[in-house]
Each structure stands twice: as C-alpha cells, then as structure tokens.
Homo-oligomer: A and B are copies of this chain.
Amino acid sequence: MGLIDNINKLFDHRIRLGIMSILMVNDDVDFNRLKELLDVTDGNLASHTKTLENAEYIKIEKAFIGKKPNTKYFITPLGKQAFKKHIDALEDLIRNPK
C-alpha cells in the first residue's frame, strides 16, 4: 500500500478542497457566497458542487429568501468524516513520509 492511498481523490482538487473547507466551518453557505469566496465561474462551481453532491459529501437546499431563489449547501456527516480522514492523511503524509 502506497503512502498516498488515504488521500481522497475527490479532494485533490483545489476548488473542491475549498468548498469542503468552507462547509466544515459554516453551517450553510449559498451559491453566490461560495462563488465569491472561491472566485470561480458559475458553471465551474456548479460542476464541482455536483461532484461532491454525487459523493454525498454535501447536500443542497433550495428556498426562496423573500422573492429571490436561493441555494444553500451543507456538508453531510459522511462528508465531514471523509474530509477529516483526508486531512489526517495529509498531516500524516507531511509529517511522516518515512
């Protein structure tokens, strides 16, 4: 087994890493806020959130705030767990690469 096997491929990507990091510490974040924090285009953000959603690492909630449609993202328990494991693997790799 290689050293990097516990590093989650889904989190190899900076944008997805950013999304997860943000969702780890914020109960909910909406589309535009994520877009602004990460400085990405709509389509790009949408495809990365979808990737994380397919893995059931995040979930989506749509609602109207006043008159405007609003989409919020949440991290799931599975996502939280996977992310923690990834961070642990990262720390391990960096501190302990034999």
What residues of chain A have their CB less than 8 Å away from a CB belonging to chain B?
1-5, 7, 9, 12-15, 17-18, 21-22, 24-26, 37-40, 87, 90, 93-94, 97-98
Contact = CB atoms under 8 A, between A and B. Distances in A.
A17 B26 contact: no
18 contacts: A2-B37, A2-B38, A3-B37, A3-B38, A4-B38, A4-B39, A5-B39, A7-B18, A12-B13, A18-B97, A21-B93, A21-B94, A24-B94, A24-B97, A26-B97, A26-B98, A37-B98, A90-B90
Nearest to A93: B21
Given A2-B39, A12-B13, A21-B93, 11 more contacts: A2-B37, A2-B38, A3-B37, A3-B38, A3-B39, A4-B14, A4-B39, A12-B12, A18-B93, A22-B97, A24-B97
